[in-house]
Copies of this chain bind each other. A is one copy, B any other.
Amino acid sequence: MRIVIVGGVAAGMSAAARARRLSEDAQIIVLERGEHVSFANCGLPYYVGGEIEDQSSLLVQTPTSLKASLNLDVRTRHNVTAIDPARKTVRVETNGRSEEIAYDSLILAPGAVASRPPITGLDDSTRVRTLRRVDDAVALREAVGNGSQRAVVLGAGFIGLEAAEALALQGLSTSIVEFASHVLPPLEQEMASLVTAELERLGISVHAGVSAQEITPGQSSDTVLLSDGTQLDADIIVLSTGVRPDTAAFEASGVTCERGAMIVDEHGRTNLPDVYAAGDATISIDAVTGARRPVALAGPANRAGRQIADAILRPGSAHPIPTPLGTAIVRVGGLTAAMTGANRASLAQAGIKFHTLHLHPGQHAGYFPGTEQIHLIVHLRKSDGLLLGAQAVGKDGVDKRIDVLATAIRAGMKVEDLIDLDLAYAPPYGSAKDPINMVGMAGSNVMDGVLKLWYAEEWEQWKDRALILDVRSVGEYSSGHLPGTLNIPHTELRTRLDEVTEAAASRPVRVLCQSGVRSHIANRVLAAAGFDTASLSGGMLTARAVLGEQALVV
């Protein structure tokens, strides 16, 4: 039995290692186009920034260590250029030579390459770099050390943000350019605005909603012209505008692709017999929306690779490859931003009706020193409260809450099930009612009609048609509030209902406070008194992020 694997990083190497653990007899050949296998691709930006000091740390395994430990035949600088499915061979180019290698089973894990957007002069510049492989990171760190002073990062996705922070950490004057309206496009806007603020705190200049149009090479630096007319001088340009599956050779050999990504079934099988595929170069089916897209994330790639080894060597007892939730996380300065499942845009595209919750709980008990807010968004299906997606930004405890929510979504939980989660509580770690339990309580209230929400996006719609009632304290109100609102602290509301009646003048009342907790109480008081009332989801903390500071009067 000979298993040939194309690509020796996440999916490919997971498949190889698992295959050996399942079979001592199999001959396992890994063909890797690049110089290294099993390297720490997610660690590259941290090497550029100097947090990972030694290049050797990036090389988790080598062909030699993999031979010794797992008896793998790992061949680097071997580029597979074609498959002959009839003869069950692959054509391999190496050092100018070409050879054919036969397979019984073939696993394609070629990964993705940086996509190159249509920017005039992009191909002429010698200062444009990507950050996909160890050599890229080494070259970028060398360039940083060679007196570079200004960097422009094109694309503010995960890698772009990590690269920008690394360059800023190395002392470069750094700008980041994003075509979408905000950084980290999969994040909701009110979450992304927190990330933008943190980037600016790190000294990074953020240009969102614009594209790079032209790169003009110069003697001492290049100039990047943006669509809004801004010109940025750059000693280093990092291209991180996204990736595309590296599948041309395989599609040409007959592997069925969809927009360039290989189509596989739940066991990783392509349309060709005994040819499997996994990782960034394959189409995945989104677990929440059913959308079909390649998912360029290390976790799903590793797991799919392992499951394919099972499908080959233990057919019949192999588990299907899980559909991904797209759970992802990034550190930006002192912040963590994370997400799992669907966001508003993907839900809208899928035609799924949903409620959104905004919460701003502390990561641990408020009375314990070092409390920091977690800004949390959760989407739930309107019909039954099914959890659909969540995002969080904060300083501490963000990864934990997103992982719990990812687990809950995978389990098919409804929002009310979160009330019952028995999570670990002591003051340094959480609260007796953990933020996750709070999501359950708030969501359950929404589903049961106990809590009616309104949203900051509806401000323009409501500001004249309703009395907007701000129930924060007088001091909080005077430090910044939305124009035309009435301030009655929630502690005085029961005795001042007459004022509400008068100011509302038969209009609905839309209540708000700082985070949504007090306005929920006030909303219940008003509902009991017969008002048409709703509570602002996420309160002023969310409203500031949605409407901007300029919407406030002081």
Contacts and interface: CB of A to CB of B under 8 A. Distances in A.
A244 B520 CA distance: 37
Given A367-B57, A448-B317, A403 B427 contact: no
A478 interface: no
A43 B421 contact: no
Interface stretch (A116-124, A201-209, A372-380, A430-438): A430-438
A496 interface: no
A104 interface: no
Contacts of A457: none
B429 A421 contact: no
Interface string A24-40: 11000000000000001
Given A322-B420, A521-B69, A302 B490 contact: no
A71 interface: yes
A51 B365 CA distance: 13
A150 interface: no
A315 to B, nearest CB: 13
A444 B310 CA distance: 12
A473 to B, nearest CB: 11
Nearest to A416: B319
Contact of A400 (B399, B413, B427): B399
A459 interface: no
Given A46-B368, A433-B302, A331 B426 contact: yes
Contacts of A338: 424
A369 B52 contact: yes
B432 A299 contact: yes
A407 B411 contact: yes
A411 B410 CA distance: 10
Nearest to A70: B521
A328 interface: yes
Given A367-B52, A528-B24, A406 B427 contact: no
Given A21-B521, A407-B404, A525-B24, A330 B367 contact: no
| Copies in the assembly, this chain | 2
Interface string A278-289: 000000000100
Interface string A473-501: 00000000000000000111010000000
Contacts of A69: 490-491, 518, 521
Contacts of A314: 448
A42 B404 contact: no
A303 B518 CA distance: 20
B25 A427 contact: no
A139 interface: no
Interface of A: 10, 14, 20-25, 40, 42-43, 46, 51-52, 57-58, 60, 65, 68-71, 158, 162, 287, 297-303, 306, 314, 317, 319, 322, 324-331, 336, 338, 340, 365-369, 399-400, 402-404, 406-408, 410-413, 416-417, 419-430, 432-434, 436-437, 441, 444, 448, 450, 490-492, 494, 518, 520-521, 524-525, 528-529
26 contacts: A20-B521, A21-B450, A21-B520, A42-B365, A43-B367, A60-B366, A69-B518, A70-B521, A71-B494, A287-B422, A298-B432, A306-B441, A317-B448, A319-B416, A319-B419, A322-B419, A326-B422, A328-B426, A329-B425, A336-B429, A399-B429, A403-B403, A407-B408, A408-B411, A410-B417, A411-B413
